[in-house]
């Protein structure tokens, strides 16, 4: 499905990515984990053809990363969608939520108006949003509603690969867990391939099959999620990330047991 081979990226004389290699099979899932500045978001931008690598290859379904030509880019974006950390830039504030959801259907499908409306209602239901929200502009949505709407917009054209770049980092712990559960459900239902980028290892178990750890633009190690707690086999940097994640998870359990969860998303 997705192959990243000997990928290097240099910007302003600084090496941002250094010989990154991995593969995601059809229907597979990979978490890329590391602190801020490790190169995770740059990697996502390269896969989305928003930037070009200094060297190396990105291959998706046998097709190489497009370098020019609007049709090549259109097919690439039809098959690969991304949800970003900065969701405020994802939905046009001048449009209604309905118009925002309809935009990718107009650009990437041949559905007529009635079929587009049906698809929009279907995906709004999938992410647990009420149809009444469609008449509102994005600024009227809560943080959790906004993130769910961004997911629906990315998934509505049936991409083969979804990239999630720190999509829950701006949400509280309760909403984080709900978005993760939603991702699990949608991935199972659609057979979607998933690239999940995060600094928080506590979000990964149960969501992704493989974990790739990055630091300062380098691939530290890659392993199956079931081996996460095998400290003898893990790099010291991964262990430090894991300890930090365990502290966050402990806080979540205390919060969960202290009272009912918030219902407003």
* Span 82-138, pLDDT tens digits: 998 766 678 999 999 999 999 999 999 999 999 999 999 999 999 999 999 999 999
Which CATH number does the domain housing residue 180 bear?
Answer: 3.40.50.300
116 in a domain, yes or no?
no
User: Which run of H or E residues covers position 83?
Assistant: strand 80-83
Q: What is the pLDDT of residue 264?
A: 47
Quote the pTM value. 0.89
**CB distance 2 to 23 below 8 Å:** yes
> Within 10 Å of residue 216's Cβ, how many Cβ atoms?
15
HSE-up (13 A, CA, CB side) for residue 8 = 10
**CB distance 91 to 104 below 8 Å:** no
Domain count across the chain? 1
56 in a domain, yes or no?
yes
pLDDT at 259 over 60: no
122 in a domain, yes or no?
no
106 in a domain, yes or no?
no
**Domain of 183, in residue numbers:** 2-89+161-257
Sign of CA dihedral 164, 127, 91, 106: positive
Q: List the alpha helices (DSSP H) in 52-159.
A: 70-79, 97-108, 113-126, 143-155
246 in a domain, yes or no?
yes
Would you give the DSSP letter of residue 213? E
121 in a domain, yes or no?
no
Sign of CA dihedral 123, 128, 133, 139: negative
> In terms of pLDDT, which residue wins out, 151 or 256?
151
Q: Cα–Cα distance between 175 and 56 in angstroms, integer?
A: 37
Residue 75 pLDDT class (50, 70, 90 cuts): confident
127 in a domain, yes or no?
no
Q: Cα–Cα distance between 81 and 32 in angstroms, integer?
A: 17
**CB distance 207 to 29 below 8 Å:** yes
Q: What is the pLDDT of residue 108?
A: 94
94 in a domain, yes or no?
no
DSSP string for residues in 205-222: TTT-SEEEEEETTEEEEE
pLDDT at 74 over 90: no
Cα-based torsion angle of the residue sequence 206, 243, 166, 142 in order, rounded to the nearest 10 degrees: 90
CA angle 219, 202, 250 (to 5 degrees): 140
b/e burial code for range 20-33 (CB count within 10 A of at least 16 → b): bebebeeebbbbbb
Residue 255 pLDDT class (50, 70, 90 cuts): low
Hey, is 263 helix, strand or coil? Answer: coil
Q: Cα–Cα distance between 249 and 6 in angstroms, integer?
A: 35
Residue 156 pLDDT class (50, 70, 90 cuts): very high
Residue 217 pLDDT class (50, 70, 90 cuts): very high
């Amino acid at each position: 499905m997705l192959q990243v081979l000997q990928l290097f990226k240099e910007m302003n004389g600084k090496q941002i990515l250094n010989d990154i290699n991995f593969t995601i099979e059809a229907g597979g899932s990979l978490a890329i984990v590391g602190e801020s500045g490790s190169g995770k978001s740059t990697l996502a931008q390269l896969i989305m053809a928003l930037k070009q690598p200094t060297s190396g290859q990105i291959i998706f379904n046998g097709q190489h990363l497009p370098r020019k030509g609007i049709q090549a880019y259109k097919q690439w974006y039809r098959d690969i969608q991304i949800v970003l950390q900065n969701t405020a830039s994802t939905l046009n504030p001048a449009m209604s939520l309905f118009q925002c959801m309809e935009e990718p259907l107009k650009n990437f499908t041949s559905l007529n108006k009635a079929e587009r409306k049906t698809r929009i209602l279907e995906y709004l239901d999938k992410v647990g949003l009420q149809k009444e929200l469609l008449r509102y502009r994005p600024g009227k949505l809560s943080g959790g509603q906004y993130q769910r709407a961004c997911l629906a917009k990315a998934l509505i054209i049936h991409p083969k690969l979804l990239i999630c770049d720190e999509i829950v980092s701006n949400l509280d712990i309760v909403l984080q867990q709900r978005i993760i559960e939603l991702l699990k459900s949608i991935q199972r239902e659609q057979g979607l391939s998933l690239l999940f980028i995060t600094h928080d290892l506590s979000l990964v178990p149960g969501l992704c099959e493989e974990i790739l750890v990055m630091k300062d633009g380098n691939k530290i190690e890659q392993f199956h999620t079931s081996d996460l707690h095998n400290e003898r086999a893990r790099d010291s940097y991964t262990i430090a990330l894991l300890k930090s994640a365990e502290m966050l998870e402990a806080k979540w359990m205390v919060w969960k047991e202290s009272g009912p969860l918030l219902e407003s998303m």
